[in-house]
Structure 1
């Protein structure tokens, strides 16, 4: 019989809804798991067992049960929480308590989640200092960034769900490295108020779970378009899947290439129609457009800290404010226009396909903490504003997880969740 911490969010939610499990019991079980593993994994920047239990008791006393009732939730430590510090992993904000919840945290609390603790992040979810978090599969390796602690905490059973963010590849890539499921929804459908702003064009609140059904629960809480009607269960047979190597296939490690091709073959054997997709030539420069937008908007994102506490601000952020990349106004206009054109081109692929299948990361998790992985296989999708769902697939040469992602058109989140639910048992066959 599973311990409560071993349950997926969906499994736990069923027990919590029917009264077979209490929020306090689940929270205590997760705290026991943390007591066993946190000293090794270092997923959290703030974890107060007493506060977590008080939050759980408050949920147990609630009159109504929301979608996330009783589920312990990890919150990335650049997202504000009313009762916990938000440090951004920065010496500027080591003890900052905002006194109010970010919008996404407020929604989660309103739907009954137990705000459990703050998970470690790369500084400002951008650059500078790395998280102390280690990959739970191999503690000599990174869990990925910037949502380092969130991915690791879910992977290691410390919490069933956690918030991440993605500006380049910071939700989907750590999911691949840690062997969990993750969703980056359509840009803008989840209110990002109360999360540190890096790029208003790119920043997206996402989340982690250990099954597609876990991702579905959180999507319901946020009332994503189409979630009001339960998506029809789709059989794998007959699904039209576009296998997209993308413009950077040549820098994918052998295990990343194997993961994508294996996922495609597994789906084909299960009856899906899998077709190779070559994107139009304009997509060859979309990563350049992402780079321009990221660094161009990043100039203003850290200007306040640069002016008020320059001695405490990492050199990475000085470089952004001082525009060391030399980005011009004309560059920004080109990048915005190029992104808009590519969004229309990509959306036009649907409904001809049910989803696009693409690499989720360059390969296995790198050794050490400094290299959190290249976002090159994610940044394109982030700039396109499309929903992405990370799915575990194979183990690499060192026995570490390597995943893939399925991608849909803008505002196609509900349909993509249905596709993920159908294909995951086939793709995640290990």
Structure 2
């Protein structure tokens, strides 16, 4: 296998066994970027010399017998609204063209302390919110979107340019690009990974997560954040039989927005896990969930108005018209609107907790269908926002190929703060859901 095609788990294993150096892996990724990124446009900032020097330092640590973390030697990318001290953080905004943060965001610092090597910053929708779109194209068909707002992060992993990347999700910005690009992603439980150093749109929704090319990659990164308390091998092992795994098939109240390709992927995933021996039951969400999308949208607007108030006052002339309109003082929400949205979300979380007494995971669509053929559209988050609001962990799994030849995935959803269990169950189910690529 070509070095740049190694997934994170394979690469870490090869480095630990002395079969591969961190520098060799970094150079292979940089060569792939040089070959492909003029077309894919996943990256905003890459400093090859700095990246190679940092990888070389990791190799020296290993040779000198110094402790090596779980991510030792792995190159990684960071969505460009997450702070990095050695590379610019521009938020894809003309307001911050040369912004140099004083320190790394918490997630970046954690990855680097765990042995990972920062490769570069990936393109994003402006502020990971509204406004200027990323230039990133879908690596499977450059005329189609890579999704958003974690556009470059999803595309870079899918195109074998880097083993893992950080992204964020406020609505569907991790899971939807994973579906469109045909890769894996984990949106952890809300607040289980620090958002310090990330530009937040919504303090009660925004979640830092990551992309990889296998469930094992997602678990590997999760181990650095103590989301997998068990030994990695144990965390990824399930019973030889899936009969005790209970999967709830959930079409969600938004099912009317599904497209034929999305419905095909969803039904195929359900049938595949059923054929594999899992217990599969249909789940119909209670009426309290019908208004979750409206509550989610209210919270984004209300908290977004607070998050961008200072820019509205100081840099209105540089704000994208879409952002300026959404957060204009004239459009401020009344206090009662946010209070009601918060209370409704709390009711939904309690109801969902009870549902997980009967199933281990939920299976739901990850996106309506294939990636749209329009780089100005990042696709709809209609099948993601409800789960983001409910604070539960979500894991994207590739499933089928649609009529336009583009990937279509599904997502597995776990109970809040049960990220380790979700990873274990996903490791057992993914080989069947993602059967076309196994």
Q: TM-score, normalised by structure 1?
A: 0.98
SS for the counterpart of 1:144 is coil
Query: Who is 1:13 aligned against?
Result: 12
Deviations for 1:102-160, whole angstroms, at most 9, x for unmatched residues?
00000000000010000000000001000000000000000000000000000000000
Q: Is the 8 A contact 2:305 2:332 kept in 1?
A: no
Confirm or deny that 1:216 pairs with 2:219: yes
Residue 283 of structure 1 deviates from its aligned partner by 0.4
From 154, 163, 166, give the equivalent of 2:169. Answer: 166
Contact 2:30 2:161 in 1 (8 A): yes
Higher mean alpha-carbon deviation, 35-44 vs 315-324, is at 315-324
Alpha-carbon distance between aligned partners in 2 of 1:424 and 1:323, rounded to the nearest angstrom: 47
1:233 aligns with 2:242: no
Q: How far apart are residue 410 of structure 1 and its match?
A: 0.5
**Mapped partners of 1:325, 1:353: distance in 2:** 42
* 1:137-148 mapped onto 2 (5 Å cutoff): 137-148=140-151
CA distance in 2, matches of 1:29, 1:394: 29
Q: How far apart are the structure 1 equivalents of 2:106 and 2:25?
A: 25
Q: Is residue 2:288 matched to residue 1:285?
A: no
Q: Which segment drifts farther, 187-196 or 232-241?
A: 232-241
In the alignment, the residues of structure 1 paired with residue 118 and residue 357 of structure 2 have an alpha-carbon distance, to the nearest angstrom, of 38
Counterparts of 1:340 and 1:54 in 2: how far apart (Å)?
A: 48
Unaligned runs of 5+ in 1: none
Distance of 1:351 and 1:23 partners within structure 2: 44
Task: Say if 1:110 and 1:391 are closer, same or farther in 2 by CA, change over 3 A.
Answer: same
Is the deviation greater in 313-322 or in 227-236?
227-236
SS in 1 for 2:56: helix
Report the Cα offset of residue 300 of structure 1.
1.0
Whether the 8 Å CA contact 1:135–1:178 is kept in 2: the answer is: yes
Mapping for residues 390-409 of structure 1, pairs under 5 Å? 390-409=396-415
- Aligned in 2, Cα 1:288/1:350: closer, same or farther, shift over 3 Å? same
2:359 corresponds, among 353, 364, 378, to 353
Structure 2 Cα separation of the partners of residues 311 and 331 of structure 1? 29
Q: Distance in 1 between matches of 2:45 and 2:164?
A: 16
Aligned to 1:74: 77
* Distance of 1:228 and 1:394 partners within structure 2: 31
Q: Look up the match of 1:99.
A: 102
Q: How does 1:38-187 map to 2 (within 5 A)?
A: 38-62=37-61, 63-187=66-190
* Contact kept? 1:5, 1:30, Cα under 8 Å: yes
Q: Separation in 2 of the partners of 1:237 and 1:398?
A: 35
Kept after mapping to 2: 8 A contact 1:295/1:325: no
* Greater mean deviation of Cα atoms: 46-55 or 199-208: 46-55
The unaligned stretches of length 5 or more in structure 2 are none
Cα contact 1:225–1:411 (8 A) shared by 2: no
Is the Cα–Cα contact under 8 Å of residues 222 and 228 in structure 2 kept in the other structure? no
Pair 1:324–1:15, CA change in 2 (3 A): farther
Alpha-carbon distance change, 192 to 228 in structure 1, aligned in 2, over 3 angstroms? farther
2 CA distance for matches of 1:215 and 1:130? 27
